Amino acid sequence: MDQPKQKLLVMETMPAIKIGFCQLMQRDVDEINDYIDTNSHRLNDLSYSLVGQIKQNPKSAQYEFNLDDPVPQKMGNLFAQLAKEYADNHPLSPEIRNNIGPIEDYHVKKMWSVHSYAGDYNPLHEHGTVSGRGVSMIVFLKVPPQIAELEPSYLENNKGEKGHKTNLQHGNSGATDGVTQFVWDAYSMYDVPRFKHSPFANVYPQVGKICVFPIWLLHQVSPFYGEGERRTMSCNVDIINHV
């Protein structure tokens, strides 16, 4: 049989995970940073309940936002909307989507900031909500330049001689310093030629970037080196279960 000249296959993607992205305006980033800097003295210290190993600098901290304050309230409305959009993008039947609930059922129950300095890191963890349902988010509020430059150098220069992507994580490159790494599923090198998809996703910090992910998705943040603060805020959006 002659080799067909045109491609025969139509490929369909059945995703294992979805991560949503959104870009916050600089003025909103400034407003959140100002809220934290102005109110940190009265915000709860979450260091004793979160998994983050955030303690290498006197300024290393994890603060719980007061959800009655205006700035967290405003951000909470945005995060609930992003969570609803995330849910709407998930491939569910209309009946199941209706069962999950309208946006009024999406509630931000917890919001906190993480102030990391050189050597601070977050070991592997997932998030949780009261209902066991929901979506989590990370917002990057401050990113030291040595971390910010990783994304362009990884994406634009990540080419070998033949134009193939090389793995910049190898060779003590620092390509994952300060990077949020999502990990899921089982995978081995035997899975490469049987076409299983890689279960790693690196999210490179950039100021204003919002990353939306399901609460069950395990992730970790590697330490970084040098000057500067890596500041993020996170929240869990609970979806109230009426059943």
* Min dist. Cβ of residue 174 to another protein (A): 6
DSSP annotation string for 77-119: HHHHHHHHHHHHTS---HHHHHHH--GGGEEEEEEEEEEE-TT
Which of 44, 26, 232 is closest to 138 using CA atoms?
232
* Min dist. Cβ of residue 110 to another protein (A): 17
* Min dist. Cβ of residue 160 to another protein (A): 12
* Min dist. Cβ of residue 53 to another protein (A): 5
CB-nearer residue toward another protein: 199 or 208: 199
CB-nearer residue toward another protein: 39 or 57: 57
CB-nearer residue toward another protein: 66 or 184: 184
* Min dist. Cβ of residue 15 to another protein (A): 15
Q: Are 230 and 223 in contact (CB under 8 A)?
A: no
| Residue found by looking up tokens 């909307």 in the block | 81
User: Helix, strand or coil for residue 27?
Assistant: helix
CB-nearer residue toward another protein: 100 or 201: 201
Query: Which residues sit at the interface with another protein, rule CB under 8 A?
Result: 48-51, 53, 56, 118-119, 121, 123-124, 126, 167, 169-174, 176-177, 179, 181, 183-191, 199-200, 216-218, 220, 222-223, 225
Helices (H), the chain: 26-39, 70-88, 94-100, 145-148, 150-156
Which of 68, 71, 47 is closest to 59 using CA atoms?
47
CB-nearer residue toward another protein: 55 or 109: 55
